[in-house]
């Protein structure tokens, strides 16, 4: 993204009054000098961010000094990079302004003292943060039938709720050491409740250096109506949509969605790998665009590059690759069936209807089969409860504490060994078990070592590690973890603790209060919720005060609720987030008008085990893929969805007007608006619509000629 100084905005900036000082101070201040202070602060911040970006790119392109550890750059989408850079310029401007004001006025000056909302909006515009999204954008009719890829306009009054590349929301105020951007523990001499916070840094396996740490990408503020102090604080970006919308399959930006689709096939399918298939001819995920990729390679045979999916983490572990592969195959299987059932559907309609079915299956499998096992049935009923319909007042956006602490409980369930099993659920004769560190970023092991089947059998045929307060994370995660752009092994526990401070999460006790749980007043009281006195004593010795305990650690060591994998705090936070994701989603599968009653009944037959049956060579599966249970069940006895429930008879209007004409670089969907058949056209990413977006079937013919899609893809 190219940053430049907008002269038009500069003229506007010079026309407003900035200082918010006392009357005595105001007599000595010249408004022009304060304006100049702001402008020069912006210019300096731009230079700082620009130089830091150059330095980062140079470091990433230089060869690693380590002979034994690889670096794996995550595929960050261009839209995400642009917004994060703009947010860094915005934040750096505030910091430079604060430092210069302190030098000039000989005292600490907080940004809210200097700036009005008008000033903040102008700094955001100078920094090239995206403009405010007005609800009128949601009046476009095509956004009402299917969910947008970014989540935009799921809520008509609050278009950005749950969208990609927006800030993680805060359920409690941020706690930065300087009030704005410094993580807790940043200033080593500062006391918290009378004590220094314990450091989170861990020495690496050579003991000669500390681990590096990269701060999470900053987000541009999107709500100019909030409290100004909160708006000026550093917020972290959620690069993907918040919704349970299968964005891991389809992406969270129009650009990525376009890359993942097979737009030339005219059948509504997703793109597949054009080099490799499994022995039965089943598809693999497509490779990333930039080759050669950084993924590990087999010592023998052809290269197998990093796979591309809707989520950039797809290559991190073999089970993730397998799940993404299953969902790719399931989309294409359903799309092919729907095309056969409804021959009059356009490719866009096939794609969108299939995407809606896949999204519904994600929601059902997550909420029915997975979440109750994580937080326990009692906590599920208490925190989530039965569905009461779409609630437009519920913000479905993912919270900072959920993403940064509560949902990271799963790190404690990871086994150090990745099992690969044969058809008898025994150790595979040709593909032995792998230590976790040797399986990361290794898509070649799927392509060259038996496909998805050995790893899938290992996943459902081996019980997950039990959470133990005494041994939270396997040494594979604390001693031999591979992380992007870092040429040394890392410690995931230390990273999680520091990430919580980076995100300014309040402490463990504040979140217990938030959830209606009793605060821990003494370290002896902490022993009662941990129920492992040795662990509680060790944490007490490290933190010295209960209010200083980091939320990720405190939540993880709580005693596990019966029939669950978490303690009371994480059960509350996960439950609250899941309820928001469900109730605040206009396209939730149970919401009115999304599916017919017959379709809902068929969707409830869906399961992860059935998807495994339909998209792999595995013929025996657990009745519940999230429950370790033997004996297995034959795929012949697993319920399956009857897609005949989606049969859509050709309407009389369509018979009379005929199928709308297809257009190059775009397509249409059909909709009934005010009792009339309407063809709604849209262009693929990178093209612009020229002409009427909607044409109406009137008098046995279409009201207008179809529009055109002009331009060239980026």
Q: Which of 564, 594, 624 is the last residue of a domain?
A: 594
Residue 312 lies in a domain: yes
Confidence of residue 119 (pLDDT cuts 50, 70, 90): confident
Q: Is 383 annotated as a binding residue?
A: no
Residue pair 170/400 in contact by the 8 Å Cβ criterion:
yes
d(CA 335, CA 270): 9
702 lies in some domain: yes
| Any domain includes 304 | yes
**pLDDT tens per residue across span 393-440:** 999 999 999 999 999 988 888 888 999 999 999 999 999 999 988 899
Indicate if 220 and 269 belong to the same structural domain: no
pLDDT value at 5 more than 50: no
Classify residue 303: in a domain, yes or no. yes
495 and 575 together in one domain? yes
pLDDT in tens, 464-480: 766 665 555 555 444 45
The CATH number covering residue 688 comes to 2.10.70.10
The answer to whether position 522 is within a domain reads yes
- Considering the domain architecture, whether residues 30 and 101 belong to the same structural domain is answered as yes
Q: Are residues 227 and 277 in the same domain?
A: no
Q: CA 655: distance to chain centroid?
A: 43
**Does 191 fall in a domain?**
no
- The average pLDDT across 588-595 equals 97
Q: Which residue has the higher pLDDT, 344 or 17?
A: 344
The rounded mean pLDDT for the chain is 86
Residue 203 lies in a domain: no
- Gap between the Cα atoms of 197 and 421, Å rounded: 45
Cα dihedral 464/468/472/473 (nearest 10): -30
Domain ranges, residue 532? 391-414+465-594
pLDDT of residue 68 exceeding 50, the answer is no
Domain end among 594, 613, 637: 594
- Tell whether 448 and 570 lie within a shared domain: no
- Based on the domain organization, do 496 and 576 belong to the same domain? yes
> Helix, strand, coil: what percent of the chain each, to 5?
40, 10, 50
Ranking 44-48, 107-111, 299-303 by mean pLDDT, the lowest is: 107-111
Task: Identify whether 198 is part of a domain.
Answer: no
Q: Tens digit of pLDDT for each residue in 664-693?
A: 999 999 998 888 999 999 999 999 999 999
Please check whether residue 360 is in contact with residue 603, taking contact to mean a CB–CB distance below 8 angstroms.
yes
Domain count, the chain: 4
pLDDT the model gives residue 551: 96
Are 71 and 167 contained in the same domain? yes
Q: For 343-364, what is each residue's pLDDT tens digit?
A: 999 999 999 999 999 999 999 9
pLDDT for 604 beyond 60: yes
Residues 174 and 65 placed together within one structural domain of the fold: yes
Q: Place 383 in a pLDDT band, splitting at 50, 70 and 90.
A: very high
Same domain? 97 vs 231: yes
Q: Which of 140, 66, 138 is nearest to 490 (CA)?
A: 66
Sign of CA dihedral 435, 439, 444, 445: positive
1 confidence band (pLDDT: 50, 70, 90): very low
Q: What's the predicted TM-score (pTM) here? A: 0.91
Q: Which of 550, 569, 594 is the last residue of a domain?
A: 594
CA atoms within 13 A on the CB side of 521: 1
Q: Judge if 472 and 573 occupy the same domain.
A: yes
CATH of residue 274's domain is 1.10.640.10
pLDDT value at position 628? 64
pLDDT for the residue numbered 475: 53
- Radius of gyration from C-alpha coordinates of the chain: 27
SS3 552: helix
Residues 403 and 514 occupy one common structural domain: yes
**Rounded to whole angstroms, how far apart are CA atoms 226 and 117?**
10
Indicate if 48 and 97 belong to the same structural domain: yes
- The predicted pLDDT at position 46 comes to 87
């Amino acid at each position: 993204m190219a940053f430049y100084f907008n002269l038009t905005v500069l003229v506007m900036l010079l026309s407003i009054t900035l200082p918010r000082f006392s009357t005595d101070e105001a007599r000595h201040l010249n408004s022009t000098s304060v304006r100049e202070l702001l402008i020069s602060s912006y210019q300096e911040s731009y230079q700082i961010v620009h130089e830091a970006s150059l330095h980062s790119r140079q470091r990433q392109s230089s060869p690693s000094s380590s002979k034994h550890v690889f670096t794996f750059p995550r595929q960050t989408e261009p839209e995400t990079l642009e917004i994060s850079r703009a947010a860094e310029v915005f934040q750096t401007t505030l910091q430079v302004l604060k430092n210069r004001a302190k030098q000039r006025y000989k005292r600490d000056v907080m940004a809210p003292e200097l700036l009005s909302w008008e000033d903040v909006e102008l700094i955001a515009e100078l920094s090239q943060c995206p403009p405010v999204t007005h609800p009128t954008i949601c009046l476009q009719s095509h956004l009402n039938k299917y969910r947008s890829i970014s989540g935009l306009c799921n809520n008509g009054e609050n278009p950005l709720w749950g969208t990609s590349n927006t800030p993680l929301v805060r359920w409690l105020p941020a706690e930065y050491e300087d009030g704005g951007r410094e993580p807790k523990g940043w200033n080593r001499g500062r006391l918290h409740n009378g004590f220094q916070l314990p450091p989170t840094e861990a020495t690496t396996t050579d003991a000669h250096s500390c681990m590096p740490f990269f701060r999470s990408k900053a987000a541009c503020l999107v709500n100019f109506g909030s409290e100004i102090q909160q708006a000026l604080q550093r917020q972290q970006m959620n690069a993907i949509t918040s919704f349970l919308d299968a964005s891991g399959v389809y992406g969270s930006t129009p650009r990525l969605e376009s890359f993942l689709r097979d737009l030339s096939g005219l059948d509504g399918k997703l793109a597949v790998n054009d080099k490799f298939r499994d022995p039965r001819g089943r598809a693999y995920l497509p490779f990333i665009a930039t080759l050669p990729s950084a993924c590990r390679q087999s010592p023998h045979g052809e290269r197998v590059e990093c796979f591309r999916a809707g989520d950039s983490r797809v290559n991190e572990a073999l089970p993730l690759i397998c799940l993404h592969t299953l969902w790719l195959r399931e989309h294409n299987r359903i799309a092919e069936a729907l095309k056969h059932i409804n021959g009059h559907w356009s490719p866009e309609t096939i794609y969108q209807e299939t995407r809606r079915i896949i999204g519904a299956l994600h929601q059902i499998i997550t909420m029915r089969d997975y979440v109750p096992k994580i937080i326990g049935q009692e906590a599920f009923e208490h925190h989530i409860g039965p569905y009461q319909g779409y609630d437009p007042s519920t913000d479905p956006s993912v919270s900072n504490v959920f993403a940064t602490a509560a949902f990271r409980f799963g790190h404690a369930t990871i086994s150090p060994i990745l099992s690969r099993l044969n058809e008898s659920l025994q150790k595979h004769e040709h593909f032995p078990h792998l230590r976790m560190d040797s399986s990361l970023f290794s898509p070649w092991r799927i392509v060259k070592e038996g496909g998805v089947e050995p790893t899938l059998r290992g996943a459902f045929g081996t019980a997950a590690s039990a959470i133990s307060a005494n041994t939270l994370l396997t040494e594979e995660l604390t001693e031999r973890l591979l992380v992007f752009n870092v040429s040394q092994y890392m410690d995931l526990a230390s990273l999680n603790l520091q990430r919580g401070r980076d995100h300014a999460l309040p402490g463990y006790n504040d979140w217990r209060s938030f959830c209606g749980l009793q605060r821990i007043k003494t370290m002896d009281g902490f022993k009662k919720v941990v129920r492992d006195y040795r662990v509680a004593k060790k944490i007490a010795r490290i933190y010295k005060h209960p209010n200083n305990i980091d939320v990720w650690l405190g939540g993880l060591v709580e005693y596990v609720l019966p029939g669950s994998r978490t303690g009371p705090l994480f059960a509350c936070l996960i439950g609250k987030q899941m309820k928001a994701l469900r109730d605040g989603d206009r396209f939730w599968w149970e919401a009115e008008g999304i599916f017919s009653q017959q379709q809902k009944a068929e969707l409830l037959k869906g399961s992860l085990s059935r998807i495994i049956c339909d998209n792999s060579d595995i013929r025996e599966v657990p009745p519940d893929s999230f429950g370790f249970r033997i004996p297995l069940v034959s795929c012949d006895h697993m319920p399956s969805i009857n897609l005949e429930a989606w049969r859509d008879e050709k309407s009389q209007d369509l018979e009379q007007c005929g199928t709308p004409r297809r257009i190059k670089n775009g397509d249409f969907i059909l909709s009934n608006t005010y009792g009339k058949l309407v063809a709604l056209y849209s262009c693929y990413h990178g093209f612009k619509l020229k002409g009427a977006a909607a044409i109406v079937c009137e008098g046995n013919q279409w009201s207008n000629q179809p529009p055109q899609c002009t331009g060239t893809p980026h």
